[in-house]
Amino acid sequence: MTARSIDEPHRASSQLELLFDLTFVVAVAAVTAEFAHHIADGRAVSGLVPFLQVFFAVWWAWMNFTWFASSYDTDDVPYRLLTMVQMAGVLVLAAGVPAAAGHSDYRAVAIGYLVMRAALVVQWLRAGTEDPAGRRTALRYALGISVAQAGWILWLVAAEAGALPSPAQVPCFIALALLELAVPRWAERAGPTTWHPHHIAERYGLFTIILFGESVLAASNAVAGALDEAEVSGRLVAIAGSGLVLLFALWWLYFLIPVGTGLSDRRHLSYRWGYGHYGIFASLAALGAGLDVAVEQTAHDLKASPLAVCYAVAIPAALFVLLLWTIHVPILGTPVLRPAPVLSGAAAILLLPPAAARTGVVTVVASITAICVVMAVLTLIQNGDTSPERGHR
């Protein structure tokens, strides 16, 4: 296991990486579905913290494997087997999402996370043994991940035993999450890993597509449920169509940005870009839950108010465009997203939900969609290039 080249030509995701991503489809679907239940029951605020906690575990596990594979993907038998162990851990984590989100029971999530992290530690130990040039960095990663994992186990045991009061559980979670985020910065002070910028850009793009797909699936399931109990109505068609066009517009905005070139030119900003995607990914997952509930309310009386349903769509959509602009501006010499349409568009989106009491949820969601479409069109007009990195694929 030796480090791969930073400028390896035609670097693309492997079949194993694509299979790895498929296990996360299950985990993301479980997280999105549970958050949608909280929103529909009028408990969006109480469900937000469990959603963000479980999504952090999903996102961070994916992140760690992705960046490791970009540097050390040997695709031999030991590497494949350890990666498959990580996949099994993802599925265990996904199975524990309902208990974690509904009853604050994180045991299954913790077990799945432990399986994933243990396999990753073995991968780093192997890299430290077989790659002398990157040994110190690899061993630092293995140590840091092990310490963080021990912290998670202590957090869970203390919470289950009642030794950790409920008000202290979230602050402790945040502290452990910050420890996780600090491990790569500390480890790479011994020497940077050789991650490939265009490969990383593609991997993030693929995970973004998974999240878009989950939003489509959530809305599709809501439509199917509505059709089981009601006839097709104009409101149902309008809300489903608006949700689909909204996802198209956000997809277009994301993939207009030449990320690989930016990461190649400004590798030192990769932490800000990579970590910032937690917000982008979580926003897309939350948007899927919001669209699910928005479609469902066309055929059912929900406990959630129309205002809450509209905010469940508006807040994630606004956050997505704001974060997309915020984390990409520093790595690009010439910004693709301009501040005027992004800031004004996000503000307009957040001002729309109060109109739900007068105009209805369908009109508000359609208006949010129209604003995002206008942002995409303005961005296309300003830049004129719809596939800035096609030559690097």
Tens digits of residue pLDDT in 53-78:
999 999 999 999 999 999 999 989 99
Residue 393's SS3 state is coil
Give the mean model confidence (pLDDT) for residues 176-203: 94
Q: Is the pLDDT of residue 225 over 80?
A: no
Q: Are 230 and 42 in contact (CB under 8 A)?
A: no
Instruction: State the pLDDT confidence band at 148, using cuts at 50, 70 and 90.
Output: very high
Q: What average pLDDT does range 31-36 have in this prediction? A: 90
DSSP string, 142-191: HHHHHHHHHHHHHHHHHHHHT-S-HHHHHHHHHHHHHHHHHHHHHHGGG-
pLDDT band at 391 (very low <50, low <70, confident <90, very high): very low
Better pLDDT: 331 or 185:
185
Backbone angles phi, psi at 45, to 5 degrees: -65, -45
Which pLDDT band, with edges at 50, 70 and 90, does 229 fall under?
low
Task: List the single range of 39-43, 210-214, 237-241, 351-355 with lowest mean pLDDT.
Answer: 237-241
pTM: 0.91
Encoded amino acid at 322, one letter:
L
pLDDT tens track for 287-317: 999 998 988 887 777 888 889 999 999 999 9
When pLDDT is averaged across residues 356-372 and rounded to a whole number, the result is 89
In contact, 223 and 299? CB cutoff 8 Å: no
169 confidence band (pLDDT: 50, 70, 90): confident
Asked if residues 196 and 270 have their Cβ atoms less than 8 Å apart, the reply is no
pLDDT of residue 154: 93
pLDDT category at 385 given cuts 50, 70, 90 is low
| Nearby residues of 115 by Cβ (< 8 Å), 6 or more positions away | 85, 86, 88, 89, 92
Question: Does position 318 have pLDDT exceeding 90, yes or no?
Answer: yes
Lowest mean pLDDT among 170-179, 248-257, 296-305: 296-305
Please answer whether residues 200 and 66 qualify as being in contact, where contact means their C-beta atoms are separated by less than 8 angstroms: yes
Measure the CA–CA gap between 231 and 374, rounded to whole angstroms: 32
Checking if the pLDDT of 265 tops 90, the result is: no
CATH topology of domain 197-392: I/LWEQ domain (1.20.1410)
Residue 8 φ then ψ, to 5°: -60, 125
pLDDT at 329 over 90: no
3-state helix, strand, coil in the chain (%, to 5): 80, 0, 20
* pLDDT surpassing 50 at residue 393: no
User: How large a percentage of the chain has pLDDT more than 90?
Assistant: 55
Question: Considering the chain, what is the average pLDDT of its residues?
Answer: 88
Residue 240 has pLDDT above 90, yes or no: no
Could you tell me the pLDDT band of residue 390, with boundaries at 50, 70 and 90? Answer: very low
Cβ atoms of residues 28 and 211 within 8 Å: yes
Check whether 369 has a pLDDT greater than 90: yes
- The pLDDT assigned to 136 comes to 96
Residue type, 268: H
